[in-house]
């Protein structure tokens, strides 16, 4: 058997290092992000995901000597030349050593252009035989936007690209920094933007579309690098806001008109440009099925507004190039939507944890949830990507609006931030979002009945971000949803990530128990036990 290890690693990496192991048929044997193991959110500055590599090998039951090729999701020779350092044997040996590979037998190293790896991560795990592929992120080696034509059995073909001065990722980052939410605050910006959905926010003209194509206020200079582009976007955002920063703290940004206006303008720009690019991708390829990758692919509000068939992989951001680099060398031959559950198992709770496990019973867990308790779930292999998909989730009943306040308080989050639902059926409470519901990557508008029935997952603009859970994805949670339905409860739960502020999702049962206790969840569901972690009687109104 041939083993190919894809990595987000090397000179080009800024954040989200990851590893993915596939065989010669493109079967994903393991894929995991470094942050789940080193417990540092996004692992910024880590150039080699050595822990993730080791976990992939361990999961597959092989050693480093069994790996035939390491596929890097960046064009390392091109980046090395830019730094005046030739890429050669020594460069490969250094990178392999950082990843945990030492002689005498070393794998080959293949470098895949960053956007090509993104595109591969989206198309080869999609349900399509052919698709238009749109890649939108901060930047690859040079480009910030790319369009590809993809067909099974054929190489990906790039049809168009735009340089960094057109970067939606860098623009959105500038808005996040102005808002005081940090470089990685894109999800918060998106949530805040909904508070200005009914406002008449003027178009800042940062990026515009029309008969002359895509136009950037930064011009067309393809030589602009990240630092120069970032600085210029920051100036544009400050000028539009008319102030050096918001007047309110992060926890009260929804009450700050200038902050809402900046977030709304940034989100409107993304939605307008992504919508235009989606149309361009379909027109250039003549294919209506659309795949999206790149960090901007995590913008579920923009995804949800796109017409037609849309697929976004569970790892559209930079971690996904580990998957895409591997698939660039060994792609799946048949269309099949990939599973997101490719990480490690939680393992047993260690001795001395001080908790008393109880029998794992569907009805008992359903009763706790129906009674208003918050429960953590840490079962099966962990999800790859940033969305908790019921293997590493906090779950709660969404039937009262107060649960949103409670869950935000438990997670130490800003009260203006929204949550999404998970269901196993079609409850008719929101407009269907197609494949975007598989990984919780598309916003959907709630029906009038949905807004009334599950207010805890209704955002201020009337949308929600749903997940449709299949029985094979997580049988126990699926059974709990069915049990709730039989009790007359909507077959829906509030589903959010099992972590505290600034932390990656929990990976092991011990991580989960410590987190549940620290934050104050009532109970923890593991592979084989229900562990009570809090005072069952202490359920706020």
Q: At 148, phi and psi to the nearest 5?
A: -125, 155
Collect contacts of 227-236 with beta carbons under 8 A, ≥24 apart.
229/139, 229/164, 229/165, 229/167, 229/170, 230/170, 230/173, 230/174, 233/167, 233/170, 233/171, 233/173, 233/174, 233/206, 234/174, 234/177, 234/178, 236/171, 236/174, 236/204, 236/206
For residue 52, give the 3-state DSSP assignment. helix
Q: Contact, 144 vs 304, CB < 8 A?
A: no
318-333: b or e for each residue (b if 16 or more CB lie within 10 Å)? bbbbbbbbbbbbbbbe
For residue 523, give the 3-state DSSP assignment. strand
DSSP for 293-312, please give it. ESGGGG-HHHHHT--S-EE-
Q: Which residue has the tokens 């959010």?
A: 496
Does the annotation count 15 as an active-site position? yes
Q: Contact, 204 vs 298, CB < 8 A?
A: no
- Assign 3-class secondary structure to 247-292: CCCHHHHHHCHHHHHHHHHHHHHHHHHHHHHHHHHHHHHCCCCEEE
For residue 56, give the 3-state DSSP assignment. helix
Residue 488: C-alpha distances to residues 348, 399, 453, 485, 531 (Å) = 34, 12, 12, 5, 26
Which region holds residue 359: left if phi is over 0, alpha if psi is between -120 and 50, else beta?
beta
Which residues are part of the catalytic machinery?
A: 15
């Amino acid at each position: 058997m041939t083993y190919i290890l894809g990595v987000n690693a090397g000179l080009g990496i800024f954040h989200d290092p990851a590893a993915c192991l596939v065989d010669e048929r493109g079967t994903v044997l393991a894929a995991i992000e470094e942050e789940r193991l080193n417990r540092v959110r996004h692992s910024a500055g880590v150039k080699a995901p050595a822990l993730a590599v080791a976990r992939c090998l361990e999961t597959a039951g092989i050693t480093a000597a069994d790996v035939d090729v390491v596929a890097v999701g960046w064009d390392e020779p091109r980046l090395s030349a830019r730094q005046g350092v030739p890429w050669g044997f020594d460069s490969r040996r250094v990178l392999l050593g950082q990843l945990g590979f030492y002689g005498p037998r070393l794998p080959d190293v293949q470098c895949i252009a960053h956007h090509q790896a993104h595109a591969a991560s989206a198309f080869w795990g999609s349900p399509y035989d052919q698709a238009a592929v749109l890649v939108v992120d901060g930047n690859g080696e040079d480009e910030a936007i790319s369009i590809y034509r993809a067909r099974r059995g054929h190489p990906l073909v790039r049809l168009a690209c735009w340089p960094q001065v057109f970067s939606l990722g860098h623009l959105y980052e500038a808005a996040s920094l102005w808002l005081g939410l940090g470089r990685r605050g894109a999800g918060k910006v998106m949530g805040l933007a909904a508070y200005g959905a009914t406002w008449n926010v003027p178009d800042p003209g940062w990026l515009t579309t029309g008969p002359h194509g895509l136009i950037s206020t930064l011009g067309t200079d393809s030589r602009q690098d990240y630092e120069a582009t970032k600085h210029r976007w920051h100036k544009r955002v400050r000028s539009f806001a008319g102030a050096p920063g918001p007047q309110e703290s992060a926890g009260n940004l929804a009450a700050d008109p200038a902050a809402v206006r900046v977030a709304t303008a940034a989100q409107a720009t993304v939605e307008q440009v992504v919508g235009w690019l989606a149309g361009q991708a379909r027109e250039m390829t003549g294919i209506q099925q659309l795949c999206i990758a790149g960090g901007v692919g995590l913008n579920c509000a923009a995804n949800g507004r796109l017409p037609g068939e849309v697929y976004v992989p569970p790892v559209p951001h930079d971690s996904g190039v580990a998957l895409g680099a591997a698939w660039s060398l060994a792609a799946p031959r048949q269309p099949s939507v990939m599973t997101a559950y490719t990480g490690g198992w939680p393992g047993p709770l260690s001795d001395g944890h001080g908790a008393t496990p109880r029998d794992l019973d569907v009805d008992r867990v359903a009763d706790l949830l129906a009674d208003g308790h918050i429960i953590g779930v840490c079962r099966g292999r962990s999800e790859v990507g940033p969305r908790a998909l019921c293997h590493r989730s906090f779950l709660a009943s969404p039937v009262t609006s107060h649960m949103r306040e409670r869950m935000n308080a438990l997670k130490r989050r800003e009260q203006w931030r929204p949550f999404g639902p998970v269901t196993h059926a079609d409850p008719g409470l929101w407009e269907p979002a197609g494949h975007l519901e598989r990984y919780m990557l598309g916003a959907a508008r709630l029906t009038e009945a949905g807004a009334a029935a599950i207010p805890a997952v209704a955002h201020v603009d009337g949308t929600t971000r749903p997940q449709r859970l299949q029985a094979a994805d997580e049988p126990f949670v699926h059974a709990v949803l069915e049990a709730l339905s039989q009790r007359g409860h909507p077959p829906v739960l509030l589903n959010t990530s099992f972590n505290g502020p600034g932390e990656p999702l929990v990976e092991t049962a011990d991580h989960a128990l410590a987190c549940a206790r620290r934050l104050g969840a009532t109970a923890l569901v593991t592979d084989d036990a229900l562990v009570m972690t809090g005072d069952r009687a202490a359920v706020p109104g």
